[in-house]
Amino acid sequence: MSADLLYWVFMGISYVAAGGTALAVMLATRRFARAFFYSLAVNAVIHAIASVWWFNVSDTPLRFTLGRLLFYFIDFVNVQVLITFALISIKKQPDTPSEKQGG
């Protein structure tokens, strides 16, 4: 696999791993903050590892390498925004059938 393909694979892995962590924690504990911060930690670790990896394997000029690292930062923010909206939508769902009926 080429380094360019792995660059995009790391972005996909961050969506799946951080999103899966957030959903699993939210469904298990029903605590928004805990799910958010766990997913934030997973997302930060994956992007930090990917950024160090990309900086080490990139043989392009520094300005192009920094541009790709900027895309990793943008992806990091996008993942967290999408996870936050997903967690908010899960949080608003009622837990029991009596809550669904309004009483």
Report the percentage of the chain scoring pLDDT > 90. Answer: 56
Question: Across residues 55-71, what is the average pLDDT?
Answer: 84
Q: Are 14 and 79 in contact (CB under 8 A)?
A: yes
* Domain-located, residue 16: yes
Q: For position 20, what pLDDT does the model report?
A: 96
* Domain-located, residue 14: yes
The alpha carbon of residue 7 and the mean position of all alpha carbons in its chain are separated, in whole angstroms, by 15
Q: For position 34, what pLDDT does the model report?
A: 96
Q: Which residues form the domain of 78?
A: 3-92
Task: Tell me how far apart the alpha carbons of residues 76 and 48 are, in angstroms, rounded to a whole number.
Answer: 10
Query: Phi/psi at 94 (nearest 5 deg)?
Result: -70, 150
Q: What is the pTM of this model?
A: 0.82
> For the chain, what is the domain count?
1
* Domain-located, residue 100: no
* Domain-located, residue 97: no
* Domain-located, residue 86: yes
Q: Are 11 and 75 in contact (CB under 8 A)?
A: yes
pLDDT 10s digits, 11-25: 899 999 999 999 999
